Structure 1
Amino acid sequence: MATGRNPLTRPVRTDGAKVLSFLLIGVLVLLTCAADQLADLYPLPLFPASVRVFPAPQSIDTVGTAVSLRGRVVIDRGPETDSAALEIVRQTVAKAGGTLESDHAAGSGLTRVFMGTPEDNPRIKTALVAMGMDGSEALGKPEGYVLAAGLNGRQQAVVLAGHDQDGVYYAAQTLRQVAEDSGEVHVVIKDWPLMSIRGVVEGFYGFPWTHQARLDQLEFYGRQKLNTYMFSPKDDPLLREEWRQQYTARQLEELSEVVRTATRNHVRFVYALSPGMDICYSNKADLDTALDKLQTLYQLGVKTFVIALDDIDLSLTCPEDREGNVEGERGVAAAQASFLNRINRQFVRENPDVSALAMVPTKYYGTEKDPYKEELGAKLDADVLVQWTGPDIVSRAITSGSAEAATSVYGSPDQPRRIFLWDNYPVNDFAPDRLYLGPAVARDPHLHDVVAGITANPMVQAYASMPALASFADYMWNGPGSDREDSLNAAFEWIAGPDADVQAGVKAFADLNTSWDIDELSVKSPLLKADMEEFWRSYEAGTVNDSALERRAAMISSLPEVLSRVSVQGFYHDALNWIESAASYGEAVQDAITILAAAKKGDESAVAAARSGLDAARERASQATQQAFDHPDVKPRVGDGMFEAFLERAIRESDHALGH
């Protein structure tokens, strides 16, 4: 600037760049004013952040303007709208800080939530048209739903529309996730399940789940959009050894509560009777006893039944069966088919509200043809479903090809049998010293094209099974779109609760219990392994100070206190023995690091003191016991042997450093 020149009187050049800059400024001012006006009418962010939804929906898009549930809210519902879905919406609004008002409320700043099926609530169609939404694909599929946020005229609106009341319920569950953090809805979701049977079979050997655990599981299944719970604990005597005995009044009362809880959470309670240990298939008295048992459960509200003939001798034990059937496996299959057909024709088909009968065959795995499977397929009524565990009893991998082969094996190439999976993951009755906290793996993403669905067999520990089951739920709903690792982590966060330290503790503990014995490809404790490998690289380079392993070991040693604060307390109690064992190993690793540092300095007294602590911690780790049904003293296994290997190497390295 020249001396003595007044900038306020300097002439201004009106070239193109200057004109463009002034125009841009003007546009920004107008946009700011418009945004201010919109904010007065709709005080919401224009471009909200994305959300996580589990199971993964078929399609999800964000919308430009979020709809708030934090203010005045009216629920516009059809007369048949599901009561459980309605309660979820009310809870979601309350958690967001909103106020529910009467149906006739009016005025600015009001959000209207449309709920129900289009047939039951015709205003849903009008609202979707006003939003420019076409939800016909999702609303044309069983259990499908549309969740849409937008403007219905000038009014904020959220639509929760279902193909049926199951769909309405799932739309409400998705709303809970979408609005959980912000109290706002800024998505359009069109969604439906790819498998019609999505669930859990309580089918393990060992202590059956407690009554409360079952109730809590069913609430969890509703959250995860699982729709089936199969009641088949192997060590429940009234299902197997004493199957002829009827339930007491108290037992029926408990079962009735479980059935009601299942129904409220849109879960089918499936009763699996297992009479095969001593049944006479040809005996009318045994048939009548089985029918009476099923009728008792039917009167409680059970509408789906399975006859489980697994884990029994492949032979006919009573004279009537031997007289009426050929010897060998074909005779067994024919006798079973005759019994099942009579159950199907005299009970299932006679009650139109009862779902198709299912059965678990005695040879329930594999894809090879054999006399038993051929005879069963030929003689069993075509509408009876068969449950199959995959290529093996506990199958590492299940492909669409193997499942398709099974449909022919239990039926024929011309008339394949409808099957669904009894998937033996994450069940641990064959390894009671283990917890399996990893995701479902090696299941073909397109398996839904072949099988009707899956019931996953969980661990004896009901609450510790939840993460793996959440991962399965994601896969069952939408195999091609699922991220089973992500859904697993979301379940860990839900179990932990909002505390970041507890979340980190749950994930550190889960890392110690990730691998699956059946899958040699599964990674063993990957986070612990990485920190140990980095520690040894640093040690060999001459330093062991402030290592990630030392921090992880400190965290692991604090797990009993940290995990006692999880939101889902059942998880803590299920895993307590493993938690305590891990904590002791964490202390031992800290002592081992101290030993190594002291040994490098030649401080034998410090080494001896730390070695004493290490030995005591390692002894405590091996003393934690877990009671199993037929093993009163099982030592929990954590860390996949890495703790033990690290401690042994640390002792060798320290001895070497000291010249021993």
Structure 2
Amino acid sequence: MPANAVPARLTGAIEGFYGRPWSAAERLQFVTDLAELGLDAYLYAPKADAHLRRGWAEPWPAAEAASLAQLSRHCQAVGLAFGLGLSPFRLYADYGRAARRALQARIHQLDDLGAAFLAVLFDDMPGDTAELAARQAEIVADVAAWSGAERLLVCPTYYSDDPVLDRVFGQRPAGYREALGAALPPRAGIFWTGRTVCAPSISGGDVVDAAAAFGRPVTLWDNWPVNDGAKRSLHLYLRPPPDRGGALDGACAGHLCNAMNQPVLSLPALAGLAELHGRLPSAADWLAERLGPAVAGALSEDAAFLEQRPRDALERHEEARLRERYAALGGAAARELLAWLDGAWSFDPDCLTD
């Protein structure tokens, strides 16, 4: 894929979780892995990056900006579309002249990083604003006019049918999806997570219904294998995305999986994504080569157990077995699993939708 090009159908990963973000070195390796899997897109949008969320109007310090510029160049070098996710927290509640100037300045700063696509993310914010869809569409129209990114995506405040969003962020306005889809600029795509925030399955009918409601194809923000919630942080998700036949439907404009807090342990799910979309002949073979056959085999054998049994419910002998097995195996994936057992990734209470 040429530098800065955006594929017709985005297929890749999101760093979009709550909690401790990855290091610069972890990101560079993760992007390399995505490219080797045959995937084509990476979206940088960690919730812990305040310069994308509550402090969205403030530019990154020089060192962080340089690190992101290096990441953007690396994505281009390996053939991945690099995306940035801006979450201008509650900007729609008071989008006056000063806020508009601040947003325009920030969009120009993001453009300087060379992102091939830009996502405006209204997720996990209160929806208690009159004419919410119209206000959000106004912001996106301005971004579309100012941004040099080749593609623009939008995550609605109500990005799923899941009633947990109404309980946490307020009752969604009647006809919100239809109003937002009708008011957005034609080139703006829509992120959607499925019928629930962390969908156990996504069917073709699910995708068609969502696309019909928004009046345009949807791009899946697939919350598999992400594990940042109060309950999900006690599990590891090491299988391919389950029951995702709808991800191949014509009403779907792309499929991006939100990674776990553990970058290397996210690879089994992402290898499954690549195989699902025909980018990889065999996820198992790729994982055996990347992680080593012993580690890949152990993770496959333990996948169901780690997905079903929460960490805080492990019997002493069960935890001892895991520690002994992965300490003996060694390698980055094993180190992440052992660190997870030690509670290295603490739950971020800002994550409200588990």
Q: Same fold per TM (> 0.5)?
A: yes
Q: 1:96-144: per-residue Cα shift (whole Å, max 9, x none)?
A: xxxxxxxxxxxxxxxxxxxxxxxxxxxxxxxxxxxxxxxxxxxxxxx6x
The verdict on how the C-alpha distance between 1:374 and 1:222 changes in structure 2, with shifts beyond 3 A counting, is same
* 1:452-601 superposed matches below 5 A: 452-477=253-278, 486-487=282-283, 489-497=284-292, 503-514=293-304, 558-564=324-330, 566=331, 569=332, 571-577=333-339
Q: 1:345-396: per-residue Cα shift (whole Å, max 9, x none)?
A: x214xx4xx3131110011013999421121122112221011001111111
8 Å contact 1:367–1:402 — kept in the other structure?
no
The verdict on how the C-alpha distance between 1:271 and 1:554 changes in structure 2, with shifts beyond 3 A counting, is closer
Could you tell me which residue of structure 1 aligns to residue 132 of structure 2?
Answer: 332
RMSD, aligned α-carbons:
3.0
The verdict on how the C-alpha distance between 1:384 and 1:278 changes in structure 2, with shifts beyond 3 A counting, is closer
Q: CA deviation at 1:273?
A: 0.5
Could you tell me which residue of structure 2 aligns to residue 252 of structure 1?
Answer: 65
Give the alignment partner of residue 438 of structure 1, picking from 231, 239, 251: 239
The verdict on how the C-alpha distance between 1:277 and 1:510 changes in structure 2, with shifts beyond 3 A counting, is farther
For 1:232, the aligned partner's letter is A
**CA separation in 2, counterparts of 1:281 and 1:466?**
41
Q: CA deviation at 1:242?
A: 0.7
For 1:573, the aligned partner's letter is R
8 Å contact 1:279–1:286 — kept in the other structure?
no
Q: CA deviation at 1:433?
A: 1.8
Larger-Rg structure: 1
Q: 1:36-55: per-residue Cα shift (whole Å, max 9, x none)?
A: xxxxxxxxxxxxxxxxxxxx
Q: Which has the higher contact order (CA 8 A, sep 6+)?
A: 2
Secondary structure (helix, strand or coil) at the match of 2:75 reads: helix
Secondary structure (helix, strand or coil) at the match of 1:407 reads: helix
Tell me if 1:362 matches 2:124. no
Q: 1:560-613: per-residue Cα shift (whole Å, max 9, x none)?
A: 44321x3xx3x23211245xx6xxxxxxxxxxxxxxxxxxxxxxxxxxxxxxxx
Q: CA deviation at 1:207?
A: 0.7
8 Å contact 2:326–2:337 — kept in the other structure?
no
Secondary structure (helix, strand or coil) at the match of 1:359 reads: strand
Secondary structure (helix, strand or coil) at the match of 1:230 reads: strand
Q: CA deviation at 1:253?
A: 0.7
**CA separation in 1, counterparts of 2:218 and 2:304?**
30
Secondary structure (helix, strand or coil) at the match of 1:311 reads: coil
Secondary structure (helix, strand or coil) at the match of 2:255 reads: strand
Q: 1:34-73: per-residue Cα shift (whole Å, max 9, x none)?
A: xxxxxxxxxxxxxxxxxxxxxxxxxxxxxxxxxxxxxxxx
Q: 1:207-246: per-residue Cα shift (whole Å, max 9, x none)?
A: 1111111100111111011111111111211111111111
Q: CA deviation at 1:506?
A: 3.9
Tell me if 1:406 matches 2:172. no
Secondary structure (helix, strand or coil) at the match of 1:200 reads: strand
**CA separation in 2, counterparts of 1:440 and 1:626?**
25
**CA separation in 1, counterparts of 2:4 and 2:136?**
35
Give the gaps of 5 or more residues in structure 2.
164-172, 310-317, 350-354
Compute the TM-score of the two structures, normalised by the length of structure 1.
Answer: 0.46
Give the alignment partner of residue 428 of structure 1, picking from 215, 227, 230: 227
For 1:575, the aligned partner's letter is L
Secondary structure (helix, strand or coil) at the match of 2:190 reads: strand
Tell me if 1:371 matches 2:175. yes
For 2:303, the aligned partner's letter is N
Q: CA deviation at 1:495?
A: 3.4
The verdict on how the C-alpha distance between 1:278 and 1:336 changes in structure 2, with shifts beyond 3 A counting, is closer
**CA separation in 2, counterparts of 1:272 and 1:557?**
37
Secondary structure (helix, strand or coil) at the match of 1:238 reads: helix
**CA separation in 2, counterparts of 1:428 and 1:374?**
30
8 Å contact 2:17–2:259 — kept in the other structure?
yes
**CA separation in 2, counterparts of 1:256 and 1:626?**
28
Secondary structure (helix, strand or coil) at the match of 1:425 reads: coil
**CA separation in 1, counterparts of 2:235 and 2:268?**
15
Secondary structure (helix, strand or coil) at the match of 1:513 reads: helix
**Across the two proteins, how many residue pairs are aligned to each other?**
329
Q: 1:608-649: per-residue Cα shift (whole Å, max 9, x none)?
A: xxxxxxxxxxxxxxxx43341448xxxxxxxxxxxxxxxxxx
**CA separation in 1, counterparts of 2:255 and 2:111?**
23
8 Å contact 1:436–1:515 — kept in the other structure?
no
**CA separation in 2, counterparts of 1:273 and 1:446?**
25
Q: 1:258-311: per-residue Cα shift (whole Å, max 9, x none)?
A: 101111111111111101335545312212222212211212222311110001
Q: CA deviation at 1:554?
A: 11
Could you tell me which residue of structure 2 aligns to residue 234 of structure 1?
Answer: 47
8 Å contact 1:434–1:513 — kept in the other structure?
no
Could you tell me which residue of structure 1 aligns to residue 352 of structure 2?
Answer: none
Q: Identity of counterpart residues, as a percentage?
A: 27
For 1:341, the aligned partner's letter is A
Secondary structure (helix, strand or coil) at the match of 1:270 reads: strand
8 Å contact 1:200–1:456 — kept in the other structure?
yes
Secondary structure (helix, strand or coil) at the match of 2:114 reads: coil
**CA separation in 1, counterparts of 2:68 and 2:320?**
45
Q: CA deviation at 1:457?
A: 0.3
Secondary structure (helix, strand or coil) at the match of 1:385 reads: strand
The verdict on how the C-alpha distance between 1:493 and 1:443 changes in structure 2, with shifts beyond 3 A counting, is same
**CA separation in 2, counterparts of 1:561 and 1:339?**
50
The verdict on how the C-alpha distance between 1:494 and 1:297 changes in structure 2, with shifts beyond 3 A counting, is same
Could you tell me which residue of structure 2 aligns to residue 382 of structure 1?
Answer: 186
The verdict on how the C-alpha distance between 1:577 and 1:516 changes in structure 2, with shifts beyond 3 A counting, is closer
Give the alignment partner of residue 206 of structure 1, picking from 19, 30, 35: 19
8 Å contact 2:69–2:113 — kept in the other structure?
yes
8 Å contact 1:394–1:424 — kept in the other structure?
yes
Q: 1:388-407: per-residue Cα shift (whole Å, max 9, x none)?
A: 00111111111111111111
Could you tell me which residue of structure 2 aligns to residue 283 of structure 1?
Answer: 96
Tell me if 1:225 matches 2:29. no
**CA separation in 1, counterparts of 2:57 and 2:338?**
38
For 2:82, the aligned partner's letter is F
The verdict on how the C-alpha distance between 1:359 and 1:303 changes in structure 2, with shifts beyond 3 A counting, is same
The verdict on how the C-alpha distance between 1:166 and 1:370 changes in structure 2, with shifts beyond 3 A counting, is same
8 Å contact 1:466–1:491 — kept in the other structure?
no
The verdict on how the C-alpha distance between 1:555 and 1:471 changes in structure 2, with shifts beyond 3 A counting, is same
- Runs of 4+ aligned structure 1 residues displaced above 3 Å come to 164-167, 277-281, 367-370, 552-558, 624-627
Could you tell me which residue of structure 1 aligns to residue 120 of structure 2?
Answer: 307
Secondary structure (helix, strand or coil) at the match of 1:306 reads: strand
The verdict on how the C-alpha distance between 1:490 and 1:291 changes in structure 2, with shifts beyond 3 A counting, is farther
The verdict on how the C-alpha distance between 1:514 and 1:290 changes in structure 2, with shifts beyond 3 A counting, is farther
Q: 1:440-469: per-residue Cα shift (whole Å, max 9, x none)?
A: 210116724221111100100111111111
The verdict on how the C-alpha distance between 1:554 and 1:295 changes in structure 2, with shifts beyond 3 A counting, is closer
Could you tell me which residue of structure 2 aligns to residue 274 of structure 1?
Answer: 87
**CA separation in 2, counterparts of 1:285 and 1:166?**
31
The verdict on how the C-alpha distance between 1:555 and 1:454 changes in structure 2, with shifts beyond 3 A counting, is same
